[in-house]
């Protein structure tokens, strides 16, 4: 499931929940004609004409053209969202992954350079590899880890999602990357010290399920 989140985590630039009606409900796929495109720093908002009428959607920043047909995969609907970037509240909005040809056009990898970050110092300090491989031992315990942000997706389900690497671990073993959820803001390329709690087998719904992650984290540069 890490790959799924890596491809997308595709939502508003900085959405905030607005009351109890903000609970998401899942769809599968939304298809429509693009009537309007509004780009912000990391995301693209689309006003779509679908078979069920007009709707707004938010996907990762992508070169979407007005008049094109797009498919939003892994779609979820959120109610009463405020986009601070657009200074607009959406009564309902769909967020998900831009699929098909649109996804291929948007798949521009970020060059983060070599990742080789010094280990955090202090109580409960670990490397990324240690947290991943010792997840059962560290379950529900506080940890401290220092690394480089290689992916950053804000405002999904009321939190920001960070993928952190420090040069430890192996890609083939899925031990070189740890997911972190936080209220703090950051950007790809930042080197930060993360302090949070290890969780195992966390299922957020809508296909977002993880064997290990760090929750409720603070970030310090």
Does the pLDDT of residue 110 top 60, yes or no?
no
Q: Indicate the helix (H) or strand (E) that contains 4.
A: helix 2-7
- Tens of pLDDT, residues 178-207: 999 999 999 989 999 999 999 999 987 655
The two three-digit tokens of residue 91, written as one number: 């009564």
CA 207 to CA 131: how far, in whole Å?
23
Tally Cβ neighbours within 10 Å of residue 167. Answer: 16
The two three-digit tokens of residue 75, written as one number: 């779609």
- Determine contact, residues 94/27, Cβ cutoff 8 Å: yes
- Tens of pLDDT, residues 68-79: 888 888 888 888
CA 12 to CA 23: how far, in whole Å?
15
- What is the pLDDT at residue 19? 34
CATH of domain 2-106: 2.40.50
CATH 2.40.50.140 domain locations along the chain: 128-220
The pairing of beta strand 29-39 with beta strand 159-165? unpaired
CA 21 to CA 153: how far, in whole Å?
22
Domain 128-220 CATH assignment equals 2.40.50.140: yes
Does the pLDDT of residue 141 top 70, yes or no?
yes
* Cross-strand bridge partners of residue 95: 58, 76
Confidence of residue 64 (pLDDT cuts 50, 70, 90): confident
Does the pLDDT of residue 219 top 90, yes or no?
yes
- What is the pLDDT at residue 113? 66
- What is the pLDDT at residue 23? 46
């Amino acid at each position: 499931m890490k790959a799924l989140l890596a491809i997308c985590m595709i939502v508003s630039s900085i959405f905030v929940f607005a009351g109890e009606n903000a609970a998401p409900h899942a769809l599968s796929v939304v298809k429509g004609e693009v009537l309007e495109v509004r780009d912000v720093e990391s995301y693209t908002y689309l006003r779509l004409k679908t078979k069920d009428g007009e709707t707004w959607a938010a996907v990762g920043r992508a070169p979407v053209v007005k008049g094109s047909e797009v498919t939003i995969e892994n779609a979820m609907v959120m109610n009463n969202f405020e986009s601070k970037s657009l200074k607009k509240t959406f009564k309902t909005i769909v967020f998900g992954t831009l699929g098909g040809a649109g996804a291929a056009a948007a798949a521009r990898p970020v060059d983060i350079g070599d990742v080789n970050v010094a280990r955090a110092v202090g109580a409960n300090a670990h490397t990324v590899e240690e947290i991943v491989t010792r997840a059962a031992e560290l379950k529900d315990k506080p940890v401290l880890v220092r690394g480089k942000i290689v992916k950053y997706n804000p405002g999904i389900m009321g939190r920001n999602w960070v993928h952190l690497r420090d040069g430890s671990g192996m890609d083939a073993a899925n031990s070189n990357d740890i997911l972190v959820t936080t209220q703090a803001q950051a950007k790809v390329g930042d080197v930060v010290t993360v302090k949070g709690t290890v969780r195992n087998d966390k299922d957020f719904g809508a296909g977002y399920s993880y064997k290990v992650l760090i929750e409720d984290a603070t970030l310090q540069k």
